[in-house]
A = this chain, B = another copy of it.
Amino acid sequence: MSESTTGRRKNLSHKITELLAEEILSGKLPPGSRLLPERELSVRFGTNRNTLREAIRNLENLHLVSARQGDGMKVLDWTRQGEVTLLPWFLQHTRDLEASRKVVEDFLRLRRLMVVDVCGRLAETAGREELNAVLELVRSQRGNLGNPEQLVRTDLDIMLGLMRAAHRMAYLWSFNTMVRLYVNAVFSFPDLWVFVPGYVDSLESVLLAALDGDSSTAASRMDRHLRESDRLIMEAVRNFQTLLE
């Protein structure tokens, strides 16, 4: 399912995955309902069993359906059993604006928790060179103020840089997964490219505190920064959703 995060050309099985995911996430195929057998589905979509099975496997990886040998395929209760990779699919196919707003809100909140936690031990885990490298990245943002897309892109790099600097692989890998899910969404909606006033100064002060050996100050500054940033983003989301109605 890395196709959903990269911008690659879509193959047939991916298109079928989207069609079936749409039917499931929109409620047309509710949890518990059974899918047609593979052979019949492959006829319905005008393809062969192998290609269709590709699509089924994608749906299984999203925990949208489960297939049992000898039995058949049924739709799972994805609201309870879904995987994190389901997030972009959900946002794309649901028509429940309130639910998708909550998903974005929680997603930002998770990001904040992780980043702030990492900042809280930055001085102990990161080397000065690494911190300086991120600081330089932050300062380079002054030159990007006229280029929103570059601003967003570098902002993600800064967060990733902090994760890398902290040398916590589990955090970095979890963050990688989240960022990859997020990046497509954020680049699809320029309306959400929102930055707080004093953006560069805020982040700069975080790095300076860390370089000063004061992790807890770094953490509290990052917390304040992200809370404000997330608040603006959620405001933008609401405005954007209002336009859709």
Contacts and interface: CB of A to CB of B under 8 A. Distances in A.
Interface centre among A79, A99, A110, A117 (most CB of B within 10 A): A110
A8 to B, nearest CB: 10
A171 interface: yes
Contacts of A99: 169
Given A60-B2, A114-B113, A117-B113, A87 B176 contact: no
A70 to B, nearest CB: 14
A174 B84 contact: yes
A218 to B, nearest CB: 17
Interface in A160-178: 164, 168-174, 176-178
Given A60-B2, A61-B1, A113-B117, A171 B81 contact: no
Contacts of A85: 177
Contacts of A164: 80
Contacts of A82: 169, 172-173, 176
Chain A's interface size range is 35 or more
A244 to B, nearest CB: 20
Given A2-B60, A176-B63, A171 B110 contact: yes
B177 A90 contact: no
Main secondary structure of the interface of A (DSSP, over half): helix
Given A90-B169, A106-B170, A109-B117, A84 B176 contact: yes
A11 to B, nearest CB: 12
Interface string A147-167: 000000000000000001000
Interface string A70-105: 000000000111111111001000000001001100
A174 B63 contact: no
A73 to B, nearest CB: 14
A195 interface: no
Interface of A: 1-2, 60-61, 63, 79-87, 90, 99, 102-103, 106-107, 109-110, 113-114, 117, 164, 168-174, 176-178, 180
